[in-house]
Amino acid sequence: MRLSMWILADWLAKYNPAIKIENGEQVLRSARILSAETRMEAQNVYLARADQFAAGSGNRVICVHEGDSLLLDTEDMGAVFNEVLDAFDFYNAWADGLERDILDGCELQHLLDQSDPVFREPLIVFDAGHMVIAHSSRYGPDALDEEWSTMLRTGSNSFDILNEMKEHLHRARYSHEVTELRYSFFAKHSLQRMLFDDQSVIGQIILIEWHRPAEKGARQLLDALGSLMELWMRHAQREQLLKPECDIFRDLLDGKAVSGQEVNYRLSMMGWEKAHEKLLLKIEISTADREIAHPLQARLERRLPDCYVFLHQGAVYVLLNQCFTPWEAVERELKELLKKCVLHCAVSYPFTDVMKLSAAAGQCRLTLQAALEKRGGIYHCSDYALDYIRNTIHAQIDAAAVHPALHILKSFDAETQNDLYATLRAYLRNNCNLSRTASTLNLHRNSLLYRLNRIRDLTALDLTAEDVREYLLLSYIILDGREP
């Protein structure tokens, strides 16, 4: 590993260096004592007496590399030289050792444990979905602040902070440099290094400035650790995080051919029977909120262990078996999470056959459309299906399709100040039950019979015919949605 003057400045901090660095690139391979006969080479840092460079500067030790220098508060050349050589040995042993361990198949946690003496600050690594995959071992859940505890316990930042950070996380996907995170909602500042495989983001590593502000040398070391982690991610064996059944569920949602026998066999191995009543939930994630998708999925998996939770086309789906997971338990978990991330969830009608999953997903889609203006809640298809049908009819059906009898009744009412139009509507909605209709309209039974007879005289309607009643009810939906 090549060092820089910034890294050496941190290493020699006990000598209170006066730092003059303009370049500071990581090009240094070794150290030399400067003498009159020495030919200076670009890969070396040179140690000399300060007065060799500026008359009257005294006998203090100075480290120089091209135009950069560190003027140290000591005259002990031998001690400084040994310190500098120790720095090269220490950092090279760290970087070379980690590279060997990566190629030998070490765990990601090993990289952080071996890096603790280098950084002496908390480190945490996230995958591409902003889920924690490793963190500094010596900092447990209660070692730092509340947000650190949240990350270790839930596997990601709190949803409040994810919402605050989502724009930054989106921009950071295009940054290949170590950047600062300076946000008021964090107790301390941090350094961030995104991790890439070619041009694709595969994660990020964060260094928290818990004990002291990080200098430029720490940035360079974090960049080096990031490169080693990218190497690890290319070589390491990935754990399969998603259950195989979830791939089948995605195929069902996409309308692909799936063997019902295979589906039922797989579910029966998990104790799910075809006769069990199931629900499908859909939490739609907008493009602006996509950084929340993976953390939300992971938390639902933890909190609903007997459910299938999977991502598909910008949404988080939850398939639950009500024999194992009562709806009330799911509702409690969802209300808390949805309130924090300001999303909303649609719930299908109950169903038994998983092969009908696409139909359940369609119910969720229609429910989300009907509840479009609402956020942070749970909406059942049973509450919104009729609204959706009404809205669709209003938007798509021409008023000319309305049964002509309703136009006759409206005109008659306008001329005579009667209320036959509303009477017929109430009669139909009460399934042609005289007692309920009379109660609804606050009429005497004989008065209701008089009005119904008047309606038949004016329109010649046969209200005993089922198709006529259905036509009239749909016509009311069309008219009532179009007229004030």
pLDDT score at 239: 40
pLDDT score at 55: 67
Residue 185 Cα distances to 169, 189, 208, 321, 388, angstroms? 15, 10, 14, 39, 41
pLDDT score at 399: 66
Secondary structure (H, E, C), the chain: CCECHHHHHHHCHHHCCEEECCCCCCCECEEEECCCCCCCCCCEEEEEEHHHCCCCCCCCEEEEECCEEEECCCCCHHHHHHHHHHHHHHHHHHHHHHHHHHHCCCCHHHHHHHHHHHHCCCEEEEECCCCEEEECCCCCCCCCCHHHHHHHHHCCCCHHHHHHHHHHHHHHCCCCCCEEECCCCCCCCEEEEEEEECCEEEEEEEEECCCCCCCHHHHHHHHHHHHHHHHHHHHCCCCCCCCHHHHHHHHHHCCCCCCHHHHHHHHHHCCCCCCCCEEEEEEECCHHHHHHHHHHHHHHHHHCCCCEEEEECCEEEEEEECCCCCHHHHHHHHHHHHHHHCCCEEECCCECCHHHHHHHHHHHHHHHHHCCCCCCCEEEHHHHHHHHHHHHHHHHCCHHHCCHHHHHHHHHHHHHCCCHHHHHHHHHHCCCCHHHHHHHHCCCHHHHHHHHHHHHHHHCCCCCCHHHHHHHHHHHHHHHHHCC
Residue 233: φ, ψ to 5°: -65, -25
Determine the length of the chain. Answer: 484
Token readout for 66 is 């091209």
What is the pTM assigned to this prediction?
Answer: 0.62
Contact 131, 150 (CB under 8 A): no
The ranges of the chain with pLDDT < 70 are: 55-56, 170, 236-244, 269, 372-376, 385-399, 481-484
pLDDT score at 241: 39
pLDDT score at 240: 40
Contact 22, 4 (CB under 8 A): no
pLDDT digits (tens, 9 = 90+) for 15-74: 999 999 999 999 999 999 988 777 889 999 999 998 887 766 788 999 999 989 999 999
**Can you say how many angstroms the Cα of residue 218 is from the centroid of all Cα atoms in its chain?**
29
pLDDT score at 273: 87
pLDDT digits (tens, 9 = 90+) for 275-328: 899 999 999 887 777 778 888 888 888 888 888 889 998 899 999 999 888 898
